[in-house]
């Protein structure tokens, strides 16, 4: 008998890492909570979720404006909650809704309120700039209604700990390869004639720092550049910044704009590549880092706190200044010639409260309900 009701709201998730988080969270809830729990997901579109145990309510206009989104969170969901009568309500997208429920939590996945965008970023993506200024206020509104605020990393716990007493860290639960933090065999033989296949899986947002790896390839001496193939998951039509990147670097035969990939396509790209790059300046987690580890791929990543925490313990990784294309060019050149020696890293244990995956987090959130 289903005498408990869980509602998960994520009406703004429709692509990329956030959609993966939504799907993984619902699959874990269905597998963990048992037959007593009815699970309803509030989503952007019904076809985003294909889990038989999950009921969906779709809000296809949720992304049409911020005013509509705020109205949903603070008024529509309040009325909906009185009809659904949830025992637990988890909002997966940062804002705390005004809802009637026995227990409530919010998952704060967006780090942009704690990032200072440059004037260049503001010019190429004014929406991100405005969003950056607005989002901290949206984070803080009604945050005290929550029994728990969930984040993915320690640095976000420190930031949001100023506004809530119970901020817990929960990793997104990606299954990754366990590799001892020691130097591994060379990436490739020095005399290899095949191109070094590099992959940077990222949407063309200004903070993703795609220009650094493009410029790094451009800086390579031509004989070295001819032995490199950089694959970017964009095609240049996505917006002003994407068009600029395509115009600047589209003439380089070593740089391939392969377009957005679905899950199957991404799995194929990971399997075929020799090394994954991740120079992003801003992430809550950086899911491609975990996915690259799962495929056992060598990594060049930004030398930033989020990246160190996501990498954890891994042998085949080096950390580079995200603002220094020459450093990335040097590392890529060394990999081409078989001279790359990874730094490796041994990750530190997380402080409590900490949950390593979704099943552990669901058990915590629903305890005694």
Percent of the chain with pLDDT over 90: 70
Residue 63 neighbours by CB under 8 Å, 6+ apart: 11, 12, 14, 44, 69
Q: Is the pLDDT of residue 180 over 70?
A: no
Euclidean distance between CA atoms 162 and 253, whole angstroms: 49
- Pair (319, 359) in one structural domain: no
- Pair (92, 128) in one structural domain: yes
In a domain, 345, yes or no: no
Taking residues 326-339, report their average pLDDT: 96
In a domain, 120, yes or no: yes
pLDDT value for 178: 43
Q: Is the pLDDT of residue 78 over 70?
A: yes
pLDDT value for 176: 44
pLDDT value for 143: 93
- The count of structural domains within the chain is 2
Percent of the chain with pLDDT over 70: 92
205 within 8 A of 241, measured Cβ to Cβ? yes
Q: Is the pLDDT of residue 320 over 90?
A: yes
pLDDT value for 173: 64
In a domain, 187, yes or no: no
Average pLDDT, the chain: 90
- Pair (357, 314) in one structural domain: no
- Pair (160, 298) in one structural domain: no
| Residues forming a β-bridge with 37 | 4
Q: Is the pLDDT of residue 314 over 90?
A: yes
- Pair (165, 239) in one structural domain: no
Taking residues 239-260, report their average pLDDT: 95
Query: How confident is residue 182, by pLDDT bands cut at 50, 70 and 90?
Result: very low
**Residue 233 belongs to domain with CATH number:** 3.40.50.2000
- Pair (272, 309) in one structural domain: yes
Q: Is the pLDDT of residue 88 over 50?
A: yes
Domain that holds residue 17: 4-171+352-365
- Pair (229, 100) in one structural domain: no
pLDDT value for 177: 43
Question: In what side-by-side order are the strands of the sheet with 299-302?
Answer: 255-257, 228-232, 196-200, 275-278, 299-302, 317-320
- Pair (218, 115) in one structural domain: no
197-238 per-position pLDDT tens digit: 999 999 999 999 999 999 999 999 999 999 999 999 999 999
pLDDT value for 272: 94
- Pair (163, 212) in one structural domain: no
* Rg over CA atoms, the chain: 21
pLDDT value for 107: 94
- Pair (322, 356) in one structural domain: no
In a domain, 186, yes or no: no
293 within 8 A of 344, measured Cβ to Cβ? no
């Amino acid at each position: 008998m289903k005498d408990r009701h869980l509602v998960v709201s994520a009406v703004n998730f429709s692509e990329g890492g956030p959609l993966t988080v939504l799907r993984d969270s619902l699959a874990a809830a269905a597998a963990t909570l048992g037959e007593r729990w009815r699970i309803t997901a509030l989503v952007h579109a019904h076809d985003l979720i294909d889990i038989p145990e999950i009921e969906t309510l779709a809000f296809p206009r949720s992304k049409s404006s911020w005013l509509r989104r705020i109205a949903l969170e603070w008024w529509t969901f309040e009325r909906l909650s009185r009809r659904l009568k949830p025992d637990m309500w988890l909002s997966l997208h940062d804002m705390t809704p005004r809802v009637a429920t026995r227990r409530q939590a919010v998952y704060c996945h967006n780090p942009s309120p704690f990032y200072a965008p440059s004037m260049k970023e503001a010019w190429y993506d004014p929406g991100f700039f405005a969003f950056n200024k607005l989002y901290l206020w949206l984070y803080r509104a009604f945050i005290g209604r929550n029994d728990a605020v969930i984040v993915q990393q320690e640095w976000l716990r420190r930031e949001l700990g100023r506004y809530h007493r119970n901020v817990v860290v929960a990793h997104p639960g990606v299954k990754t390869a366990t590799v001892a933090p020691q130097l591994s065999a060379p990436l490739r033989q020095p005399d290899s004639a095949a191109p070094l296949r590099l992959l940077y899986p990222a949407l063309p947002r200004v903070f993703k720092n795609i220009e650094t790896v493009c410029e790094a390839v451009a800086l390579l001496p031509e004989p070295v550049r001819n032995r490199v193939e950089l694959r970017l998951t964009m095609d240049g039509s996505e917006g002003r910044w994407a068009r600029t990147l395509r115009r600047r670097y589209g003439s380089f035969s070593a740089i391939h704009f392969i377009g957005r990939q679905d899950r199957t396509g991404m799995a194929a790209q990971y399997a075929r590549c020799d090394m994954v790059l991740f120079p992003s300046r801003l992430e809550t987690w950086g899911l491609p880092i975990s996915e690259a580890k799962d495929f056992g791929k060598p990594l060049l990543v930004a030398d930033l706190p989020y990246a160190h925490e996501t990498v954890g313990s891994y042998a085949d990784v080096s950390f580079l200044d995200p603002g220094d294309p020459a450093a990335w060019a040097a590392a890529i050149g060394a990999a081409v010639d078989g001279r790359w020696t990874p730094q490796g890293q041994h990750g530190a244990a997380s402080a409590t409260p900490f949950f390593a995956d979704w099943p552990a987090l669901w058990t915590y959130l629903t305890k005694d309900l």
